[in-house]
Amino acid sequence: MMLTILEILLQTYFYFVMGYFILVNFCYAVFLVLSYREILYYMRHNSFSNYRSTVQSEITPPISILAPAFNEEATAVESVRSLLKLNYGKYEVIVVNDGSKDNTMDRLIREFRLLPSRQIYRPTLRAERVRDIYKSPMPEYRNLVVVDKENGGKADALNVGINVAQYQYVCAIDADSLLEDDALQKVMKPFLEDEHVVASGGIVRIANGCEVVNGRVVKVALSSNLLPIFQVVEYFRAFLSGRMAWQAVNGLLIISGAFGMFKKSAVIEAGGYNRDTVGEDMELVARIHRTKLEKKEPYRVVFVPDPVCWTEAPESMSILSRQRNRWHRGLLDTMLLHKKMLFNGNYGVVGLAAVPYFFFIELLGPVFEFLGYVSLLGLLALGILNMNMWILFFIVALFYGVMFSVGAVLLEEVSFRRYPKPRDLALLLSCGVLENFGYRQITLWWRIQAFYDYFVKGVKSWGVMQRKGFST
């Protein structure tokens, strides 16, 4: 009797997984089609844009760039030099040293000849104590501000940066990131075209393997390490196939913390960055959506596919596992904090589509997939699995997995062609196939562990992210 019940339960769940699989892949197919359409529209609409005139125009608003830094001595100086050379009219660079335990602050002081300033600090948003604000007497560094504060986490550092910022638009980036010369112009353009835009995000690309000179990526190439190449494919899928589609319906729930532009008033109105989550980037965007929808104010959150931010990706499994664990804990935190919006028609597309997608597919997807493997093993052990059906299911699942990864790579190829070498394209396409055999399952396990760390161990920290620095 018990065996019969177990068989029924396993079979029922296995069929549930199959139905869930169909739903997920239907969503991905829709995303791919929407993304292709949006990219074509964007390229037609912006092919003749005169960004030079945008920079030189008197109406182009100034920007405050916020770069929180914690133990970034390997990359901080090069990143700051890169930021100081951006092709934009008027802007300031605010580096917030979040109580680094390495030589980040000392390197910044020596390299840019920083001295304590008399600038008054006004804490509009709550944050840890600011020790001092530094500026340089050198004219070439006149738009650089370095804030030294007690450790409070990335969100806390960003709140300090907003408190210090003197301009109405703030651009949040990682201190280990490199922006292309025209990145600010392109990510700022939606604000100039539509007064209702409150947030705009650019694309994040992986710098591992690229040649970097004086804070600039001068030659795009793939890493000799296979692990960063898998991540390149993942980033294509997330940005070009995911965010491009969601912004088309104003349902974009995440702007990468590595590169995002915000109207400062909208951030302050929403309460600033949440200091109690490791997913502060997504949580802020979700709260901006929620705030604007509850106040019934018109707004837009957009993704721009060609302003590029280059970042260093983990090259070891241990560091990558901590990163993916943290990302999933951040997603979990955001979904729980904003569960009120789930299937709530008062929040429009966000409540009826975006939040349900991120909750049931992005957040719970690893759980359903893992239990699907368990049910499969159970059915095999009981000898009641139809092998022909399983083989067919496996082939279809593999086909769709490969199709969406390859589709994302081809979206990149037909649009922006950042990897012009045939060898690089072939390698990316190959990794789009190979990731389904081991890499996907490993990342699945890391995301499963995130649930245990969150609910059982109560882990709230970021974890240590070692940086090697950019190749020169």
The two structure tokens encoding residue 26: 């239907």
Give the residue extent of every domain in the chain. 1-61+168-463
Please tell me the predicted confidence (pLDDT) of residue 447: 96
pLDDT at position 26 is 87
Q: pLDDT 10s digit of each residue in the chain, 472 long?
A: 555 777 777 777 777 877 888 888 888 889 988 998 988 888 887 765 655 555 556 678 999 999 999 998 888 888 898 899 898 989 999 999 999 999 999 999 999 999 999 899 999 999 999 999 999 999 999 999 999 999 999 999 999 999 999 999 999 998 778 899 889 999 999 999 999 999 999 999 999 999 988 778 889 999 999 999 999 999 999 998 889 999 989 999 999 999 999 999 999 999 999 999 999 999 999 999 999 999 999 999 999 998 999 998 999 999 999 999 999 999 999 999 999 999 999 999 999 999 999 999 999 999 988 887 887 777 777 777 777 777 777 787 788 888 888 888 988 887 888 888 889 999 999 999 999 889 999 999 999 999 999 999 988 776 555 656 665 5
pLDDT for position 1: 55
Do 206 and 75 meet the contact criterion of CB atoms below 8 Å apart? no
Quick one: tokens of 148? Answer: 């030294």
d(CA 229, CA 209): 9
Residue pair 423/47 in contact (Cβ under 8 Å)? The answer is: no
- Please check whether residue 94 is in contact with residue 67, taking contact to mean a CB–CB distance below 8 angstroms: yes
Residues with Cβ within 8 Å of residue 126, at least 6 apart in sequence: 159, 272, 275
Residue 283's closest CA among 238, 243, 334? 334
